[in-house]
Amino acid sequence: MTQSQAQQGVSSITVNPNYNGNTNDNDLALVQLSSTVSFSDYIQPICLAAAGSTLYNGTETWVTGWGNIQSGGECVRPEDQQVET
């Protein structure tokens, strides 16, 4: 494992109660790690907008994730699935 990688255990996964497996609508889950993360130059927390925040046109945001992007496809690394919105 390189200094830009980390391996963490997972203590729980909470799937969005509105997730629809037929359409993949609301395909989001909260993953709780089983131990704290050691941050470094390569591993950093993300910033979330405060509740009730207004994001105006032109505000730079990013989304990222991992998982299959097609039926029967391989699960790719998170850095392969990120986009500026």
Q: Looking at per-residue confidence, does 73 or 79 come out higher?
A: 73
Structure tokens given for 20 = 């629809």
Q: Flag whether 61 is in a domain.
A: no
Q: Within a domain: residue 77?
A: no
Q: 62 has which bridge partners?
A: 84
* Residue 18: CATH number of its domain: 2.40.10.10
Q: DSSP secondary-structure letter at 34?
A: S
Name the pLDDT band for 48 (thresholds 50, 70, 90).
Answer: confident
Q: How far apart are CA 39 and CA 64, in angstroms?
A: 19
Domain region containing 23:
7-37
Q: How far apart are CA 26 and CA 15, in angstroms?
A: 9
Give pLDDT tens digits for 3-32: 888 889 999 999 999 999 888 888 888 999
Number of domains into which the chain is organized: 1
CA 43 to chain centre: 14
Taking residues 79-85, report their average pLDDT. Answer: 66
